[in-house]
Amino acid sequence: MEKRRPLIAGNWKMYKTNDKAVETAGKLSGLVSDIADVDIMIAPPFTALAPVSEAVKGGPIKVGGQDLFWKEEGAFTGEVSTAMLLSAGCQYVIIGHSERRQYFGESDKTVNKKIRAAIDTGLIPVMCVGESEKERDGKETFSVLDKQVGNGLKDFLLDDLDNLVIAYEPVWAIGTGKTATTEQAQEVHLFLRSFIEKNFGNVLAQSIRILYGGSVKPDNILELMNMPDIDGALVGGASLEAETFAKIVRFQK
Ligand code: 13P
């Protein structure tokens, strides 16, 4: 069976003012303009979405939001809707990142509502899951992931999930320089794929893309991509610099 089409995504988190964001996006756009066999996404901060979308227009780079709120509109100060993301040029949205869970009260329940809102409006959701160091040490990795994915996808039907992307980001590997070994990552990716198979069937299990995130660098991308169940990466720190991220997109050191 052929592997799924890779997706390499850059999560810029709370970095870059608009001038810097446009500069990096423009540079990256030039560096990857010939790439046709890998999907590429960058998720700048909300404030930079529209100018970054403009800067990458016509090239292979797609743009994503880092979060959304599930209501269509209303008195929700500080929040951003799917229509707003779409009008700023987004095709993707990251949902349930561990930093949102850790610092901003995101729960499996809110993740579930956000995925629903993304799917209903045609945005591709990148659902993040992952265990903490304590949970891994306590041998709870699989039970934690089972709960996160199970609750996050509660009440969805197979037909809803065609475009869903899952990102496995072990919390202990984010921004720490500690990467899960490729074997550790592969083991979890296989577990997640089996979860999808058990709950939604083999066709979706074979087509769904499962990204790895946590200290991905040019040095480790190829080894990760060589694993049978790793379909791409969600890159934080190493996506902030155009040259470095372009190497990751090419699976090059
Ligand atoms: P780092 O690549 O900086 O470890 O961050 C990973 C991440 O959180 C991407 O969403």
Q: Which residue ranges have their beta carbon within 6 Å of ligand 1?
A: 11, 97, 169, 174-175, 213-216, 234-238
pLDDT tens digits along 162-199: 999 999 999 999 988 887 899 999 999 999 999 999 99
- The pLDDT value recorded for residue 1 is 62
- The pLDDT value recorded for residue 184 is 95
Q: Which atom of ligand 1 lies nearest, measured to the CA of 215?
A: 4
Residue nearest ligand 1's atom 7 by CA = 236
Count of Cβ atoms closer than 10 Å to residue 203 Cβ: 12
Residue nearest ligand 1's atom 5 by CA = 236
Asked whether the beta carbons of 42 and 10 are under 8 A apart, the reply is: yes
In this structure, CATH architecture of domain 7-31+38-249:
Alpha-Beta Barrel (3.20)
Q: Kindly report the three-state secondary structure assignment for every residue of the chain.
A: CCCCCCEEEEECCCCCCHHHHHHHHHHHHHHCCCCCCCEEEEECCHHHHHHHHHHHCCCCEEEEECCCCCCCCCCCCCCCCHHHHHHCCEEEEEECCHHHHHHCCCCHHHHHHHHHHHHHHCCEEEEEECCCHHHHHCCCHHHHHHHHHHHHCCCCCHHHHCCCEEEECCHHHCCCCCCCCHHHHHHHHHHHHHHHHHHHCHHHHHHCEEEEECCCCHHHHHHHHCCCCCCEEEECHHHCCHHHHHHHHCCCC
pLDDT < 70 regions, the chain = 1
Q: What is the whole-number distance in angstroms between the Cα of residue 75 and the centre of ligand 1?
A: 32
Q: Which residues are catalytic?
A: 97, 169
Backbone angles phi, psi at 234, to 5 degrees: -110, 110
- The pLDDT value recorded for residue 230 is 98
Q: Which of 215, 221, 224 to mutate to test the pocket of ligand 1 (most atoms within 8 A of CB)?
A: 215
> What is the distance, to the nearest Å, from the Cα of residue 110 to the centroid of all Cα atoms in its chain?
17
Q: What is the whole-number distance in angstroms between the Cα of residue 178 and the centre of ligand 1?
A: 11
Domain boundaries, the chain: 7-31+38-249
Backbone angles phi, psi at 213, to 5 degrees: -140, 140
- The pLDDT value recorded for residue 149 is 98
Asked whether the beta carbons of 52 and 21 are under 8 A apart, the reply is: yes
- The pLDDT value recorded for residue 222 is 98
